[in-house]
Amino acid sequence: MSTPIIIDCDPGHDDAIALILALASPELDVRAITTVAGNQTLDKTLHNALRILTLLGRHDIPVAAGAARPLQRALEIAAQVHGESGLDGPELPEPAFCAASEGALALMARVLEQSAEPITLVPTGPLTNIALLLAAYPQLHSKIERIVLMGGSAGAGNWTPAAEFNIYVDPEAAAMVFTSGIPITLCGLDVTHRAQVMAEDIERVRQLPGPVARCVAGLLDFFMRYHRDPKWGFVGAPLHDPCTIAWLLRPDLFKSQDCWVGIETQGEYTAGMTVVDRYALTGHAPNATVLLDIDRDGFVALLLERLALFGKE
């Protein structure tokens, strides 16, 4: 039986690849896709989600736009990482269908209410939509199986010295999510920086038949440029967001630890920091399964296996 999921995203190169990986995987039943402002503004992240689904021919999945800004802060985007469009690099088709007239919260609530089984939420951008959903529909918390999110770090950040981008953009929303009592899997920089795709892996993607593999190779080419900066110390490009989908498909590829995670919202230098209590120093019970390592070769093999399923044009 497939696992029902809702993906909340801000495409974004790695978000796009996460969507593609999810929709190549029969183990997952993608019930809806919602978008949030993050890597780019909301109009662009919505447009990009529709473009990816058009490429895949998946007009059957409802898509809805959510929050255009964080709960309390001005929006900060990552154009230097993802380009002016949010998906610079490969040519993508223009959307062949429209977003749902209902907003992201209404769509997520409807899907949750109508489901006979609990649904896993997979946010790969700032947590604004998820926090608003939890606040607006407390009666639906029991319909959420788990939240598998990309964000945070048990160590250094990538947007400030202390904070990872997704959590930094809306730490107040993240704080609401982490105190919700809903089971959480945290795919932070500790694991995503180990999920690097190397130049030779991109060439293996490029050799696969069909437009989807060509698109992913183009996305990876562009994404690699930003991560070649020597300050990062990377050999390849870290595929952050696909780790969420990979964990749902192959949890055996990962090493994890159950920890209490708090979100810093006030610190002058640490706003957006995920405080991960790896040594049980706070006395708080764990509220998240924190992913800390990955079998990189197994991760890349999974990505290649699923991309190959799209076949020839």
| Catalytic residue IDs | 240
Contact criterion met (CB below 8 Å) for 184 and 144: no
* Interatomic CA distance for residues 38 and 49, integer angstroms: 13
Nearest CA to 72 out of 271, 241, 275, 273 is that of 271
Cα dihedral 33, 37, 43, 48 sign: negative
57 Cβ neighbours under 8 A, 6+ residues apart: none
* Interatomic CA distance for residues 14 and 171, integer angstroms: 21
Contact criterion met (CB below 8 Å) for 162 and 186: no
Contact criterion met (CB below 8 Å) for 149 and 184: yes
* Interatomic CA distance for residues 252 and 169, integer angstroms: 31
252 Cβ neighbours under 8 A, 6+ residues apart: none
Element spanning 130, H or E: helix 128-136
